[in-house]
Structures are given as structure tokens and as C-alpha cells.
Structure 1
Amino acid sequence: MNECDIPTRLGRLHVRVTGTGPPVVLWHSMFVDSSSWDRVLPMLTATRTLHLVDAPSCGSSDPLREATDISACADAAVDLLEDMQRQWGYDTVDWLGNAWGGHVGMDVAARRPDLISTLVAISAPTHPIDAAVRRKVRMLLPLYRLFGPRGPVRSAIEETIFTDHTRAHDREAVQLLRDAIGRAGRRATISAIETAILNRTDLNWAARALTCPTLFVTTDDRGEWTPEEARAVVATMADAREARVRGARVIPALEQPEQLADVVEEFWKAAATDTGRRRL
């Protein structure tokens, strides 16, 4: 695996590169870093070159100087993709994003369709967070400032990310989450929480503007974004579909990596076939 740092307007983003084949950019969810994709790598690296990004304030990337929003993260992602074009000669890339990463991918693909050929948005609601979730997060932040990711704070994060079954029976997944949280500083994490969660805006405009083949991956245990809600958004889009991964809540790559890989590979194959037919 190769590693590099790419400068953006939100600071240096750390990228790990592995695999063989067409390029894919992977941007993770909140509370983790690019290591959250590690369990799905064996299934995807045989046919794709994966560029695993540590988002701002996560992993080995620079911390945010202050909280920002999804649009600013998308601007940084454009810097990233344009630098990748210069370095590696890519035309477009496939985008694979979870929650935060799905939101960033939607914004980029809507505003810069020349950069992204297909989009997979996992567990990524197109609506802003509701009042109940906002209250919960705002209550969590002061505790996080005081104690960091320990005790009841860590438990609250794990309950948000994982199903009851995963927390009880999948120690590896839980440890991957804990390790990622531990690598991030308190201040950096709070800026990321404000950016990716509290400042998440309505992205239905982006969904309607998308022209690339798009897949919304839902789960059966995230009440904030049900398969039915995703399908209602899909109905407003030019070229989109929804697929469900069962037995997961927010990060299927950690909880159900084989299921997720199957869903994504099937989508990529279908998108390639559809593109080939349009060219005939």
C-alpha cells in the first residue's frame, strides 16, 4: 500500500492507495478514519485501485482550524480530485462515501459532474439532521470536551454507529472504531462533528442535480434514513437506485463488509453495462 498527502483548502489530506484497476475514492463516516474500510478491502482491491482518504480532522490528515460544512468539504474534495488527475492522469473516478463521505460525494458530483463517473452514498440521508438528533449531539459535545471518548461518551458513540448484535459479538469492528476515535484529538473531533453532523444541510438539491449513475446504500437499522425514504429520493433522480445491507446501522463496511462489497460490485457492473449500451 502506498501513501501520500494532498494539499487542499482545508489542509493536507492523507490518502492510502491500494489495488489494481479503475480508480475509486473512498471517504469515510464520522467518528472513524480511512481504516473503517479495511474489512472490505480484500473484496474490492482485485478489480479497483482504491484511494482511501482520511477526512479533515481524522486519521493522519490535518485538523480543521474551525468547523465548516459539507460544501466546504466538497471544495476540498475537488482540490483532491484535481490533484489526482494531475498526478495519475485520471479522467474521472468512482466515489464511494459513507455518511459524511456520501454527502461530500453528492455535493461534488452535483457541482462538478466532470470529476465523478459513479457515486455510491452509504447511509447518507439527503435531509438535514432532525431536532432530536441535533439535541443528542449538542448534549454529547460538552462531555466530549471534558472526558474525550471514554465511559458514557464512548458508549453513546458505539450505540449510534453499531447494532446491538455488533456491539455484543463483533469485537474486531468495535475495536476498529475505538482505535480510530483514539487517534483523533478532542478538539479536531469536535470540529469534525460540527462540520459533518450539526452543519449538515439539505442535499436534495444535489440528489436531483446528479447525472452520474448513483446508488444509495441503506441499512435496516438506521431510523434516520430508511430504505423507503431513500427510494422516494431515488424517484426524483435521473439515474439512481437503492440497495439495502442488512444487519448494519451506520457503517456497513465495518459490520457487513461482504454484503456491502457484493452490493457495490453489482452496481459498478450494472453502471458499466448501461454506459456501454448508451455508447452503441
Structure 2
Amino acid sequence: MAMKSSARHATREFGSHFVDTSLGAVHVRRGGQGPPLVLLHSNGLSWREFESPMQRLAGNFDVVAWDMPGQGDSDPVTWDTPIEGYADVVSELIDYLGLERPFVVGCSVGAFIAASLAARRGERLAGVVLAEFQFGGADWFARNWGTVEALFAVPTMTPDQVQARLVRPASDGVADRWNIDRNKAGARSMMGVMWAIRRFDIRAALHSATVPVAAVFGDAGPTVASVAAVTEALGRRGSAAIVPGAGHFVSIDQPGAFADRIAEFADRVRLASRR
């Protein structure tokens, strides 16, 4: 498979690269030094969801943030691409970029992709962090599909609609970036991603995970009610934490706390591996 990017080594400065994959050219943003860390954004956004915490994380990690296939500056994909298909591309990026047992952090749909990796290819990872993911399964989505369509079938959101999804005040720049990324993705891509989530068995994936898992929820997020169920599903393989002052987009509402949770998890995993 031909590759476009020649960036095989991390540098302190962040830079953009394109990698040819089985789902077309994927845009990644990479920088920093240290153990590898892969960041997977939410539906309809881009690597910029992590723009603030990336600067904090780059002091301790070799950070790679993608634009998932079909969104951001990555190539379009067919609307019915499954979660496993996106996860396979993350695995391809890990191979190409030479990332040795990275930590993988996913938000919303990114959490489902990371969970798929943890269940099917856990031996390749150091651990995963899953942030703000819907644990209700296909039945929940069937009951709430009208809300899903209202959120994702119309790309452009008013400033008030953007603010309703965040806890911290949304500046004009945040709202503008939000709509740029959602319009890059488009309604078809975003709704296809929601169908992929609806069809993915997150409970089975967590039960099958073979690496340490940390779950993170915002105290004002729409999925925080899942904490007890997620904790039970993870058992001794993982833990769940709640971040105060955050909604569904923890990395935007509380970038410092988000970065801290990742660093603390990585430290725990490395410490446990030495025992």
C-alpha cells in the first residue's frame, strides 16, 4: 500500500501529514516527545477538538491526532463504514507511523473505535481511554433516534446550539470552528457514523478488552448516567472517572483536567507493568 507521509519520527513542533490507508488519505497532526499517544475525535469535529490539551500532552507524549476518515481533511468514505473499519485504519496508522504500543484516547465515536481496538487488537496497545460514550446500545438509539437526527442531520448549528453542547462559554472562534468541521464532514458522513455506533456492541467490546481501560465522563454530559454500568462492565480491567465542569466535550470544556486524566492513567499503566 502506497504511503504519502514520510514523517516517521516525532518532533517537538506539531505538523500535518497525510497517510494513505485502506479508507483513503487520512490527515494526522503529530508533535511532542515521549510514549506514543493517539487521539480520536468526536463525530463531526476534527483533530482540533484536542487543540488545547495537545499542547499540554506534547511535553510528555508523542501525540498523534487524526481526522477520522470522512471528516476533517481526510478523504470521504462510504456512509456505512463500520466502527471496525475505522479501527482498522487506526491500526494501519500505528504501523506506518511506527508507534510502539501506544495509548489510544477516543471521545464519543472515537471511544467506540478505541474500544474496538482494545477488544480485537489489544496486544498492540498500552491502554485506552474512552471519553463520553453512549453505553445504552441499539435499544437506546432506537428510542432516541429523532434526537440523533436533530443533532447530526443538519451540519450548521447556531451559536446557542453550540453553547448548549458545552459547559464553558463558547467564543465566536469555537462556534466558527465547530461549524467549519461539521460542514466539512456533512450530514451524510455524520449520520453514517451514528449508524455505525448504533450497530456496534460496546458492551461486548468492553468485556473482550485485553488492555487497561479508563472511562471518563463529564459531570454535565449526556452519558454520565452510564458510569455505574460502565464500571461494572469493566470490572478489574478498568475504572471510570467524572470530570467536574465538563459536558460531552471534556477536552474542550476542561482541557487541563482531560490531559491530567490521560497522564495519570498512563502513569498507572506503566507502574503496573513494572511490578
Into which bin does the TM-score normalised by the smaller protein fall?
A: 0.7 to 0.9
Task: Determine helix, strand or coil for the equivalent of 2:156.
Answer: coil
Is 1:82 matched up with 2:95? yes
Q: 1:21 matched to which residue of 2?
A: 34
- Give TM-score scaled by structure 2 length: 0.84
1:6-155 maps to which residues of 2 (within 5 A)? 6-84=19-97, 88=98, 90-128=99-137, 130=140, 131-139=142-150, 144=154, 148-151=155-158
Q: 1:265 matched to which residue of 2?
A: 263
Mapped to 2, the partners of 1:127 and 1:79 lie a distance apart of 29
Mapped to 2, the partners of 1:265 and 1:139 lie a distance apart of 35
* Stretch moving more, 171-180 or 5-14: 171-180
CA positional deviation for 1:38: 0.3
* Stretch moving more, 128-137 or 251-260: 128-137
Aligned residues: 258
Amino acid in the other structure paired with 2:116 = D
Amino acid in the other structure paired with 1:149 = T
The answer to whether the Cα contact below 8 Å between 2:40 and 2:105 also exists between their aligned partners in 1 is yes
Q: 1:208 matched to which residue of 2?
A: 207
Amino acid in the other structure paired with 1:180 = D
Task: Determine helix, strand or coil for the equivalent of 1:74.
Answer: helix
After superposition, the CA RMSD in angstroms is: 2.3
Structure 1 gap segments, 5+ residues each: none
Relative distance call for 1:9 and 1:35 in structure 2 (3 A) is: same
Relative distance call for 1:21 and 1:9 in structure 2 (3 A) is: same
CA positional deviation for 1:70: 1.3
Mapped to 2, the partners of 1:127 and 1:118 lie a distance apart of 23
Amino acid in the other structure paired with 1:254 = I
Q: 2:229 matched to which residue of 1?
A: 229
Relative distance call for 1:239 and 1:194 in structure 2 (3 A) is: closer
Q: 2:180 matched to which residue of 1?
A: 179
The answer to whether the Cα contact below 8 Å between 1:57 and 1:63 also exists between their aligned partners in 2 is yes
Q: Percent identity?
A: 22
Mapped to 2, the partners of 1:252 and 1:140 lie a distance apart of 18
Relative distance call for 1:176 and 1:245 in structure 2 (3 A) is: farther
Deviation sequence 1:54-90 (CA, Å, 0-9, x none): 0111111011123222122222222222222xxx3x3
Structure 2 gap segments, 5+ residues each: 1-13
